[in-house]
Amino acid sequence: MSRLDERPDDQPDERPEGPSGEPEIRVAGLHKSFGDNRVLRGIDLEIRRGEVVCVIGPSGSGKSTLLRCVNLLEEPTEGRVYVGGTELTDPDVDIDAARRRIGMVFQQFNLFPHLTVTENLTLPQRRVLKRGKAEAARIAAANLERVGLAEKAGAYPSSLSGGQQQRVAIARALAMGPEVMLFDEPTSALDPELVGDVLAVMRMLADEGMTMMVVTHEMTFAREVADRVVFMDGGVIVEDGAPGQVIGAPRHERTRHFLSRLLDPAMADVEEGTSGRAGPQ
């Protein structure tokens, strides 16, 4: 039974909010421009503690930029970002301390090729959190076990599949003890047969109550695991609601058009006249 089956849409979400009743993540009036290119145009978004929110939308819609603004990998042009009640956009904030609460998993795995799997997990713990060697190794081993890769502790990244490398990247983020996890298209660089193992780890984190913001094109994952789905286009949030509503019965034509193209790419080719085929082959 999926989490959505366990919590019907007409039942209130009773998960606790963040400190002092604040959402775990709050974005208010967020704008981001790169020169004359306005990528984000006034985003307002709240994510409660324990919620899984999937952000979907076409390429160039601003979804990855929004994610990167949440931990200030991109500095907003205007607006405010709060995580756990701390304003990351406050000029006086200790941004390094604030970021320790946030785990980030990218499209690419960003593992150090010259370090073993264990060393990839222990290095940031020792440098950033100042943990001792033994403690860092113990935490690394526990998180490799969580993602099903305990037997790969001594391996080097080059000997791992793409899916295994991404699970190591997730374990590395978890080893830092984050309260929030951000995922930027974590399966987009993987061969299709490797996607399932990564999504299974993300399902596990969702079941454990991890607050997660996931930029993804995996509609099955979004439908079955997310508490909410946010559809973005043109730098704005077009639709925000339960997966069954946004994916199953979208209210906006822009959402319907995007989903039809995503779920039936062959039809999108026909519509755009880009297939280049004279007929069935």
Q: What is the mean pLDDT of residues 142-149?
A: 97
Would you state the pLDDT for residue 177?
96
Is 19's pLDDT higher than 60?
no
Is 154's pLDDT higher than 50?
yes
The rounded distance, in Å, linking the Cα atoms of 230 and 246 is: 8
Instruction: Name the band, by pLDDT with cuts 50, 70 and 90, for residue 192.
Output: confident
Would you state the pLDDT for residue 266?
61
Q: What is the mean pLDDT of residues 236-249?
A: 96
* 22 contacts 49 by C-beta, under 8 angstroms: no
Is 148's pLDDT higher than 70?
yes
The rounded distance, in Å, linking the Cα atoms of 226 and 33 is: 29
Give percent above pLDDT 70 in the chain.
Answer: 86
Would you state the pLDDT for residue 193?
87
Instruction: Name the band, by pLDDT with cuts 50, 70 and 90, for residue 262.
Output: confident
- Long-range interactions of 5-14: CB distance < 8 A, separation 24+: 7/227, 9/242, 9/244, 9/245, 13/48, 13/51, 13/227
The rounded distance, in Å, linking the Cα atoms of 263 and 208 is: 30
Domain boundaries, the chain: 113-177
96 versus 274: which is more confidently predicted? 96
Spatial CA neighbour of 172 closest among 201, 197, 195: 201
* 254 contacts 261 by C-beta, under 8 angstroms: no
Is 48's pLDDT higher than 60?
yes
Tokens of 224: 């079955």
Rg (CA), the chain: 20
Is 270's pLDDT higher than 90?
no
Instruction: Name the band, by pLDDT with cuts 50, 70 and 90, for residue 50.
Output: very high
Q: What is the mean pLDDT of residues 260-266?
A: 75
Is 7's pLDDT higher than 80?
no
Spatial CA neighbour of 113 closest among 148, 153, 165, 150: 165
Would you state the pLDDT for residue 159?
97
Q: What is the mean pLDDT of residues 53-72?
A: 95
The rounded distance, in Å, linking the Cα atoms of 43 and 66 is: 8
Is 250's pLDDT higher than 60?
yes
* 80 contacts 70 by C-beta, under 8 angstroms: no
Out of 55-59, 130-134, 274-278, which region has the weakest mean confidence (pLDDT)?
274-278
Would you state the pLDDT for residue 265?
61
* 197 contacts 167 by C-beta, under 8 angstroms: yes
From residue 53, give the alpha-carbon distance in Å to each of 92, 132, 178, 269. Answer: 29, 35, 17, 30
Would you state the pLDDT for residue 189?
87
CB burial class (10 A; 0-12, 13-18, 19+) of residue 58? Answer: middle
Is 199's pLDDT higher than 80?
yes
Would you state the pLDDT for residue 17?
53
Name the pTM for this structure. 0.86
Vertex 165: Cα angle to 203 and 56 (nearest 5): 45
- Ordered alpha helix ranges (H), the chain: 3-6, 63-70, 95-99, 117-128, 133-146, 162-174, 195-207, 219-225, 243-246, 253-263, 265-272
Would you state the pLDDT for residue 263?
73
User: Which residues are 43's β-sheet partners?
Assistant: 30
